[in-house]
Amino acid sequence: MSNALIMEQQFESDICDSLSSSGWYYSGSGAPDPEWDPALALHKADALWWLANRYPKEYEKAVNPSLTGTSKQQAEHRLLQALAKMLDTKAVIDPTTFKERNGLLGVLRAGFNFVAPSRPAAKFGPMVEFPPENPLLTASQQWFRDNRLRVLRQVRFDPTKTSTIDVVLTVNGIPVITMELKTDHTQKADDAVAQYRKDRMPTKSTPLLQPGRCLVHFVVSNQRALMTTALKGADTFFIPFDKGDNGHAGNPPSPTGSPTDYLWREVLTPRSLIRILSSFAVRESDGTLVFPRYHQWRAVENITTDVAQTSAGGRYLVWHSAGSGKTKTIAWLAHRLGRLHAYDGDKAFDSVIIVSDRRVLDDQLRRAVSLLGASKGYVVGITDKAGSKSSQLRDALTEGDHIITVTLQSFPEALKIINDSAELRSRRWCVIADEAHSSQSGDAASDLRKLLAAAPEVDPEDDQITSDDLLLAQDSAVATASNITFVALTATPKHRTLRLFGTKTDKGWEAFDTYTMAQAIEEGFILDVLKRYSTYDMFARVRDNVTDSENQIKVDGVKAVSQIVRFVRLHKVAIAQKVEIVIEHFRAQVAGSLDGRARAMVVTGSREEAVRWSLAMNKYLPDKGYHDMAALVAFSGEITVDGQSYTEPSMTGVAEKALPKHFRETDEARVLIVADKYQTGYDEPLLCAMYVDKDLSGIAAVQTLSRLNRTAPNKPLPIVLDFVNDPVKIQSAFATYYSEAYISQETDPNALYSLTDRLDLAGYYDSDELYAISEAYLTGEDGESLQPLLAPIVHRWNAALAGATEPAKRQEVLAFRTDAGRYRSAWDFLSQVVDYQDPTLHRRAILAGLLVRNLHTDSLIESIDTTSVELTGLAVVAKQIDTDRSISGPTSADLDAPAYDGDRTFGGSTPEQVALSEAIDKVNALFAASGLELGNGSGAAWTRAVWGVLTEDEDIKAMSAENSPEQLQSSPKFKDKVTGAVVSVAADSAAMTEAAMANPDLYEGLVELLAKVTAIVHGHAAA
C-alpha cells in the first residue's frame, strides 16, 4: 500500500470525489481555486453567476450592461463587496414579515439590496433556491437544481497568509461549511480541533472564520466527526456529530468506506444540505447559529420521508435521552410536517398540534419554530387560561395550516373546539407529544384519537342508527385512525408507550429513532448522575409508653410499621440531623462549584415533609451564622402542619411561576426543597447536588435524579446523597433506559374477555343495567341521573363487603373492584391497538370506570394510634460515600408487558395481627441494622452488629427472596452464615460472642430473630 492511499491528501480527495458524484461542482484538482477571494470570503464567479441569472433585471441595475473590461470588473467587485458586507452585518428580525434580515441566513433566505453609483436600487432575492414543498411545482424545482454547490480544496482564509483550510463548501458562492480532515493513519481528530483553536483565529482579516459567517465548521477523521458553529480561539467548543455505535458513542463500521462517510454520503448531499439551510439552520437570540446534531437530523428526515410515502395515520416513537435537544427536534419536526406535501402533491396535514406537559417548554417551542422563519401568526399557542385565547385557537384550528402548541392543562379546550365541528374532526392532523408518558398514552391519547379521528361513516338511508353503531364506528376509528399521525418523544418510554407509538420490527416493538442515555453521557451532553452516589442509613429506637400490655389492641402489623416509620422520618430530631448533614455537606463539597453559583435540591416524600424540612433548614442556617444562603421550598396547594397553614408562596415570598428564575438568579437561594414538583421537565444546569429523602423507583428514579445531569462550563460530576433508597435498585432503574429497550411480547388482547367473565359473573349487575348505565353516560346524562342507575350495584357490593367476615370472602369481594379498575385500564390501552368490533366491551369499560369511582374502601383503612410512641434514640450515619454506580457495558432491555388479568389480590395476603409493642420491635429491628450503640443496651448493639454483617451478604439476600422465615431458620446454610457473622464481630464483643456460641438455646433464638428480620428486609415481607 502506497503512502498516498493512507495520507490526508487521499482522504481529502476521496471525500471531494464522493461529493462530486452526488452533484457538487468540483474541479477534480487539489489546487486552490482562482475564483476564491479570501478578503471577501466569496467564490466570485458563482456568486456573480447566481445574481446575474436568477435576478437578471436586478443585476442590470447593479452592473450596467454597457460596461466592459476594467469598469465592469470594478462594478462587479462593488456588488460582491456589498454582498460580503451584508453577510457580515448583524442579523435582525423584520417585525412585519417575521423573517431574518442580514447575516448568513438572512442573505441566503431573503437576499439583499444594493445601489450602484448613478444606478437605480437593485433588490436581490434569496441567494439560494429551496426545493418547493409541493413536488408538482416544477418551475421552482428547476431553479433548485440550478443552485451552484461547490467543493473547494486548500482554501486560503487570510489574504495576508498562505495558510489554508482543507475543504470549504459554498452555495452560490457563499461559504457555508469548512472542514479540517485528519486520517487516523497519521493523526487524530483532536489534532484538527487543536488546529482550529490555535491556527484558525477569527480576526478582521479572516472573514471566513468570523462567528456567524459560516454555518458550521467540521472536524472529520476516519472514525469521528465533530462540529462547532462559532470559532472562538482557545474557547472554541466542538461537539460530536457521530451516528452512535450500538447505543453508545462513536460510529459503526461502514461497508462503503470510513465510518464517518455518512457525513458526505448522507448529510452533505446537495438536496440534504439545501434542506438543512431551509428547515434546520437557525440563529439563537444571542446570535449563535444552530446546526442540527446527527440524531436530530436523522429523526426529522426519516419521519418526514416516511410520512410523505405513507400519508397520515402512522405512529412514531422518538426515544431521545435528556440532553438530546428535544425542544429543537420538536420544532424542526413541526416545521417540516406542517409544510409537508405527499408525493402526489397533496398537503400531508391540515394542522400540527404540539402537546407538552410543561408550560416552559410550550413557550420555548413557539420561539424555536418562529426562529425557523415562520410567518407571523403561523405558530399559535394556548395556555390553560381559555378566555381570549379560546377564540384565537378556534380561528387557528378552523383556518388550518398552523402549528398549534398546547399544554396538557389547556388541551381539553382544543379538544372541545374540534369535537364541536364534524368538519374539523374529518381533517388530517399531526400530533407531536412531548414526553409521552401515561398521561398521553392512556385516557388523554384515547380521547384525542376519538375526537380527531374522521367522523364515522353511516348509511344515509338507515334511520335506525343506534349508539352501538356509533360506538363500533368510533372504536374502529380509534384503533385505525387513518387521518392522524402521532409523533411521541420521550426519554423514558414505558411498555405501553412502546406498544402504542413504537415500530414493529423482528425483535418486537421498538422506537422509530433512538438516541440513548449512554451516548448522551459518553458524548458529554449530559452528566452521569450515578458516578458520585452516597448513601446514609438511619438507625432509630422507639418505645410504647403504654405500660398495661393486657389492654393493648391488635393492629395491622404492616400498617403499624409503616406509620411508625413515617413517625420517625417526620420527627424533628430525624429531620434536624439530616438538615445538618445536608447543609454541612453542601457548604464543604458543593457550594464553591461553578464559581460559587452551585445549587442543590432536596427531594422529599410529601408536602408535610417539605414544610418540616424548610422550617428546620431555615432555622439551622441563621443559628449557625450561615447568612449567605437560604432554602426555598416548592409544593402544590395549601397544607396545615401543626395547626399552621402553609403555601409555597407564603414560605418563599416568591410567586410560583417566578420561583425557577428566583432560584437561579438570587445569590442566597442555594437549596430548593421539593415535594412532587420540579422532578420532571425542570432543567437547571446550576444543580450540582441532590439530597434524596423519598422512595424512588423505576421511571420516577430516572426522571428525578436526571435533574442533575445538565451540563455547564466547569461543572463537576454531580453528587447524590440518598437517605432512603437502595443504590442497587436505583442503578437497575437507570439500566433500563441506559442503552436500548424494546418489547418482544404483546399484551394479550384476550385479557379483556377474561376480565369480562370475572366482572359479569360476580353477580353485582346484569346486562340490562350494563346497557342502561352506559347508554345514560353516552347520551350525556348528568350525575344525578346516573346515580339511581348505579346505586343498586353499589348497594349490593357494599352489602357483600359488610357481610364478608371471612378473609377469603372479603378478598373475593374486594377483587371485583380491582378487576373493574384493571378492565378500565386494559380498555384504554388495548382499544387503541386492537379493533375489537364489539361495542359491549366499550360499554363495560364505561361501567367499570364509574364503579371504580363509586365503590369505596375507606372503611377498611385502619387508623392506628401512635400517640404513645416515643423516639428514644436516633442516628443518621454514612454508609457508602461517593460510590461509582454508573452503568457499564452495553445493555438492552426487554420491557415486560402489563398483565391486566393477573392474580386477583387486595394488598397482599391477610396481614398478621400483632400487638403495637410487637410492631415497635419490628421497627427497631429494621432500623437498627449496623450495631450502632444507641444506649446502654449492649446486647441489642451486639445483635445489630451481627445483623450488619448478614445484611451485606448477597447469598443471604438471594436466600431470603425465595424462602420464608421458618425455612431460613431451618436452613444449615443460613445457620453457617449466622455463625460467620457472629465470629466476625467477636473482636468487638468477645463476651457476647462466647455466650452465644456456648449456649445452644441462645444461639437458636438468635437464628430465629435474624431469620425474621432477614425476611422482613430482603424477602417477600419487604413488599
pLDDT tens per residue across span 255-291: 999 999 999 999 999 999 999 999 999 888 788 899 9
C-alpha of 596 from chain center: 29
Statement: residue 97 has pLDDT above 70: no
pLDDT of residue 679: 84
d(CA 587, CA 418): 54
> What confidence category does residue 932 fall into, taking pLDDT thresholds of 50, 70 and 90?
very low
Query: Cβ(215)–Cβ(289) under 8 Å?
Result: yes
pLDDT of residue 544: 65
Q: Spell 281-297 as b/e; 16+ CB within 10 A means b.
A: bbbeeeeebbbbbbbbb
Query: Cβ(252)–Cβ(243) under 8 Å?
Result: yes
Please give the average per-residue pLDDT across 112-131, as a whole number: 94
Please give the average per-residue pLDDT across 604-620, as a whole number: 95
- Highest-scoring range by mean pLDDT, 91-100, 128-137, 973-982: 128-137
d(CA 405, CA 354): 5
pLDDT of residue 460: 37
Residue with the three cell numbers 431469620? 1011
pLDDT of residue 488: 87
What are the CA-CA distances from residue 597 to residues 532, 614, 667, 715, 719 (Å)?
A: 20, 21, 7, 10, 15
Cell numbers at residue 545, please?
Answer: 409508653
pLDDT of residue 823: 87
pLDDT of residue 550: 45
Mapping DSSP to helix (H, G, I), strand (E, B) and coil, where does residue 35 land? coil
What number of other Cβ atoms are within 10 A of residue 179's Cβ?
25
- CB-count burial class (<10 Å; 0-12, 13-18, 19+) for 790: buried
d(CA 819, CA 755): 7
Q: Per residue in 546-556, pLDDT tens?
A: 544 444 445 55
> What confidence category does residue 6 fall into, taking pLDDT thresholds of 50, 70 and 90?
low
- Percentage above 90 pLDDT, the chain: 41
pLDDT of residue 160: 92
Higher pLDDT, 746 or 971: 971
Lowest mean pLDDT of 221-225, 301-305, 742-746, name the range: 742-746
Lowest mean pLDDT of 27-36, 488-497, 861-870, 937-946, name the range: 937-946
Q: What are phi and psi of 225, to 5 degrees?
A: -135, 135
> What confidence category does residue 422 fall into, taking pLDDT thresholds of 50, 70 and 90?
confident
Please give the average per-residue pLDDT across 880-889, as a whole number: 76
Mapping DSSP to helix (H, G, I), strand (E, B) and coil, where does residue 499 land? helix
d(CA 875, CA 607): 24
Statement: residue 829 has pLDDT above 80: no
pLDDT of residue 548: 46
pLDDT of residue 393: 75
Please give the average per-residue pLDDT across 646-651, as a whole number: 95
Residues ≥6 apart with Cβ < 8 Å to 834: 479, 749
For the chain, the straight-line distance linking the first and the last C-alpha, in angstroms and rounded, comes to 66
pLDDT of residue 968: 73
The per-residue pLDDT of the chain, averaged, comes to 80
d(CA 242, CA 224): 6
Residue with the three cell numbers 389547556? 410
d(CA 17, CA 5): 14
Rg (CA), the chain: 34
> What confidence category does residue 839 fall into, taking pLDDT thresholds of 50, 70 and 90?
confident
> What confidence category does residue 229 fall into, taking pLDDT thresholds of 50, 70 and 90?
very high
Query: Cβ(616)–Cβ(575) under 8 Å?
Result: yes
In this structure, what DSSP letter does residue 589 have? Answer: I
Statement: residue 361 has pLDDT above 70: no
pLDDT of residue 395: 81
d(CA 638, CA 314): 44
Query: Cβ(436)–Cβ(385) under 8 Å?
Result: no
What are the CA-CA distances from residue 690 to residues 526, 676, 700, 765 (Å)?
A: 16, 14, 14, 51
Cell numbers at residue 465, please?
Answer: 342508527
DSSP letter string over 569-580?
HHSHHHHHHHHH
Residue with the three cell numbers 420527627? 571
d(CA 374, CA 353): 16
Statement: residue 5 has pLDDT above 80: no
What are the CA-CA distances from residue 117 to residues 51, 323, 567 (Å)?
A: 18, 52, 87
The residue among 807, 778, 782, 613 whose CA lies nearest residue 692 is 613
d(CA 271, CA 146): 12
Residues ≥6 apart with Cβ < 8 Å to 783: none
Q: Per residue in 235-247, pLDDT tens?
A: 999 999 999 998 8
Q: Per residue in 322-343, pLDDT tens?
A: 888 888 899 899 989 988 987 7
Statement: residue 1019 has pLDDT above 90: no
Please give the average per-residue pLDDT across 358-384, as a whole number: 63
- Percentage above 70 pLDDT, the chain: 74
Higher pLDDT, 783 or 33: 33
Helix (H) or strand (E) holding 84: helix 69-88
d(CA 427, CA 420): 13
Statement: residue 820 has pLDDT above 70: yes
pLDDT of residue 810: 85
Higher pLDDT, 607 or 986: 607
- Residue 205 bridge partners (DSSP): none
Lowest mean pLDDT of 201-205, 414-418, 695-699, 738-742, name the range: 738-742
d(CA 82, CA 812): 85
pLDDT of residue 448: 47
The residue among 428, 285, 295 whose CA lies nearest residue 363 is 285
Residue type, 672: L
The residue among 436, 448, 429, 299 whose CA lies nearest residue 356 is 436
Helix (H) or strand (E) holding 880: strand 869-883
pLDDT of residue 374: 59
Helix (H) or strand (E) holding 307: helix 294-310
Higher pLDDT, 834 or 467: 834
d(CA 751, CA 747): 8
Please give the average per-residue pLDDT across 433-460, as a whole number: 48
Lowest mean pLDDT of 154-158, 618-622, 833-837, name the range: 833-837
Mapping DSSP to helix (H, G, I), strand (E, B) and coil, where does residue 636 land? coil
Statement: residue 995 has pLDDT above 60: no
> What confidence category does residue 594 fall into, taking pLDDT thresholds of 50, 70 and 90?
very high
pLDDT of residue 459: 40
pLDDT of residue 1010: 62
- CB-count burial class (<10 Å; 0-12, 13-18, 19+) for 83: buried
Mapping DSSP to helix (H, G, I), strand (E, B) and coil, where does residue 128 land? coil
What are the CA-CA distances from residue 978 to residues 951, 955, 968, 975, 1018 (Å)?
A: 11, 12, 11, 5, 16
